[in-house]
Chain A
């Protein structure tokens, strides 16, 4: 099973700041990595797929990068609606599909 490890677990940030979230895979997942955003009481929302492609309707302030085992999700200028939990997920080595444990972005 490919283990996905996200860091940090929690990030305290002020609106307008640049945010970088990390995701590491225990073995190569090529570029088959997605990022999801989940707000309290809501279902996950696809942000990025294929490591760096933004999903439909996702603002340009969200960007993904990386390949192999190291990946990053960057929010260039955090908006109030971006406070949420972010998950990475690999879809290269399955079954099973695996998710990271999540990074919570909270207001500083």
Chain B
């Protein structure tokens, strides 16, 4: 069974940092592009970032502005999102999602991990 399990969320003060982890199983992880998507309370889904299968290419939403870094360790079937300089508006449920192939749609989603930025 294809499975994505996120962890690493929590409560952090504005300006703080968090590192999210997504553990993948049930598929050949290094064959696929991977995404982070977030869902803030009362808002729509918002794409955060993607990373290519080999980790050599990464893209971000404009709102990231150099604050987040996506990475992966294919030897550990793991995806990461390092989030620095967090803002209150980064408060959301963060999903890890598998791309169907290369830069397509998301066919499998994790259950998400909650990030709360509050003073």
Contact = CB atoms under 8 A, between A and B. Distances in A.
Contacts, number: 58
Interface in B27-73: 35, 37, 44-47, 50, 59-62
B106 to A, nearest CB: 7
22 contacts: A32-B104, A36-B106, A42-B111, A43-B109, A43-B111, A44-B45, A44-B106, A49-B100, A49-B104, A49-B105, A87-B44, A89-B45, A91-B103, A91-B104, A91-B105, A94-B103, A95-B50, A97-B47, A97-B50, A98-B47, A101-B44, A102-B45
Interface residues of B, number: 23
A23 interface: no
Interface residues of A, number: 23
Contact of B109 (A45, A49, A55, A91): A45
A43 B110 contact: yes
Contact of A46 (B61, B95, B105): B105
Contacts of B37: 44
Interface string B82-118: 0000000000000100001001111111111000000
A45 B59 CA distance: 23
Contacts of B103: 91, 94
A66 interface: no
Given A95-B59, A96-B62, A87 B45 contact: yes
B109 A44 contact: yes
A34 interface: yes
B45 A95 contact: no
A55 B98 CA distance: 14
Interface in A32-91: 32, 34, 36, 42-46, 49, 55, 87, 89, 91
